[in-house]
Chain A
Amino acid sequence: MIVRNGIRSNLRSKGRTALFAGMILVLTLGMILALGVRSYCDSALAQFDKAYRSIAVLEYMGAEYPSIDEPDPAARAASAAIDDSALSAVPGVTAWYRDCHTLSRVEGFQRRGIDMPYKDRGVIVVTHIVPVYPAQLGIMGQPDYYTGLLTRSLYSYTEKENILITILYDDLPEDLEKDGFYVLHGTFVEGDEEGIHNGLACFKALPFSDDPGTEPCYRLGEGEEPPEIFSRYADHFRTINNYVHTVVCGDLEDLWEFHQGVVYPREGRMPEGPDECIVSGGLAESMDLSVGMTLELTDFDSEEDDRYEITLTDRHRTVTVTGITNSYEDYYGYIWQQKEQTPATLFGYRIGIAELENSQAVDAAAALEEMMPANVRVTLLDQGYTEAVEPFLSLQSTSTNVLLLCAAGTAAVLVLFARLFVGRQNDTVRILVSLGTPRRKIALWLLSGALVIAGGAAVLGGLLGILGLPAVYAAIRSRIAAGSEILRFSETLVTTMKKVDVPVRTPLWPILLTIGAIILFAFLLCFLFLGVAYRGGTLRQGRSRVRVPSGRTSTFGSGAFRYAVLSLRRGGRRALLVVAVCAVLTVMLILLGGVYRGWEIQLQDALSGTELEGQVTSLDGRDFSGLILPIHTIQELLMQEDVSDVYVSIRDVYWMPEDLPGIVREERRNDWIDAQAEFVCTNDLKGTKEFYFTEPEIQWTEGWDASCLSDDSYATIYGPLLYLEKDKIAGPYPAVVSDAFLESHGLTPGCGFSCMIRGGGVLQDEISVPLIAAGVYHQTGSKAHMYLPLAAFVPPDVIFGETPQESSSYWFRNGRNTEENYRAFIYDYYMMETCRFTLVSAAHLEQTRDNLDRAGFGWPGHVGQRRTTLILRDASFVKLTENLGRYLSMGRVMLGLIFGIVALLGFIISWLLVSGRKQEFAVMRGLGVKKGRLFLSFFWEQALLCLAGCAIGCIAMTRFYAGGALQWLVLGAFAVCYMAGCALSVILIGKMNLMELLSAQE
Chain B
Amino acid sequence: MSVFELKDVRYVYQSKYQTVEAIRGISCAFDAGILYAVMGTSGSGKTTLLSLMAGMDIPTEGEVLCGGVSTSEMDLERYRREKIAMIYQDFRLLPLLTVAENVMYPMELRGMKTAEAKKKALELLEKVGLPDSAADRFPAMLSGGEQQRVAIARALGMDTKVLLADEPTGNLDTENSEKIFRILADLAHSDGYCVVIVTHDPALGEAADRTLHLRDGRLLEN
Contacts and interface: CB of A to CB of B under 8 A. Distances in A.
A930 B93 contact: no
B98 A552 contact: yes
B118 A553 contact: yes
Contact of B101 (A566, A920, A925, A926): A566
Contacts of B203: none
B115 A926 contact: no
B108 A562 contact: yes
Interface in B71-106: 76-82, 86, 92-101, 105-106
A927 B93 contact: no
B61 to A, nearest CB: 17
A803 interface: no
Interface in B32-70: 51, 54-57
A980 to B, nearest CB: 24
B114 interface: yes
Residue from B82, B109, B118, B158 having most chain A Cβ neighbours under 10 A = B109
B109 A555 contact: no
A94 B30 CA distance: 100
Interface in A543-562: 546-549, 551-555, 558-559, 562
B109 A927 contact: yes
A994 B57 contact: yes
Contact of B77 (A548, A930, A998): A930
A555 B114 contact: yes
Interface stretch (B135-143, B182-190, B206-214): B135-143
A931 interface: yes
Given A553-B101, A555-B118, A920-B94, A927 B135 contact: no
Contacts of A998: 51, 56
A928 B98 contact: no
Contacts of B93: 923
Contacts of B81: 927-929
Interface residues of A, number: 34
A15 to B, nearest CB: 15
Given A555-B118, A558-B114, A566-B96, A926 B109 contact: no
How many chain B residues sit at the interface, stated as a range, is 35 or more
A50 to B, nearest CB: 63
A945 to B, nearest CB: 13
A552 B138 CA distance: 9
A920 B94 CA distance: 6
Contacts of A552: 98, 136
A750 interface: no
A200 to B, nearest CB: 118
B96 A927 contact: no
A555 B56 contact: no
Contacts of B56: 926, 994-995, 998
Given A930-B77, A995-B57, A548 B96 contact: no
Contacts of A571: 96
B79 A926 contact: no
B138 A926 contact: no
Nearest to B103: A553
A553 B94 contact: no
Contacts of B118: 553, 555
Nearest to B113: A558
A563 B54 CA distance: 24
A5 B101 CA distance: 45
Nearest to A575: B96
A23 B171 CA distance: 41
Contact of B138 (A548, A933, A995): A548
Contacts of A548: 138, 140-141
Given A547-B140, A548-B140, A566-B97, A927 B105 contact: yes
Nearest to B77: A928
A927 B158 CA distance: 9
B83 to A, nearest CB: 9
Contacts of B97: 563, 566
Given A555-B114, A928-B77, A995-B56, A549 B109 contact: no
The 5 closest A-B pairs by CB, nearest first: A928-B81, A928-B80, A555-B114, A553-B100, A570-B96
Interface of B: 51, 54-57, 76-82, 86, 92-101, 105-106, 108-109, 114-115, 118, 135-136, 138, 140-141, 158
18 contacts: A548-B138, A551-B98, A552-B98, A552-B136, A553-B136, A555-B114, A558-B114, A559-B108, A563-B105, A566-B97, A920-B96, A923-B92, A925-B77, A926-B54, A927-B80, A927-B158, A928-B109, A929-B77
Given A563-B97, A922-B92, A927-B158, 15 more contacts: A546-B141, A548-B138, A549-B96, A553-B99, A553-B135, A555-B118, A562-B108, A566-B96, A923-B94, A925-B77, A926-B56, A928-B77, A928-B106, A929-B81, A929-B109
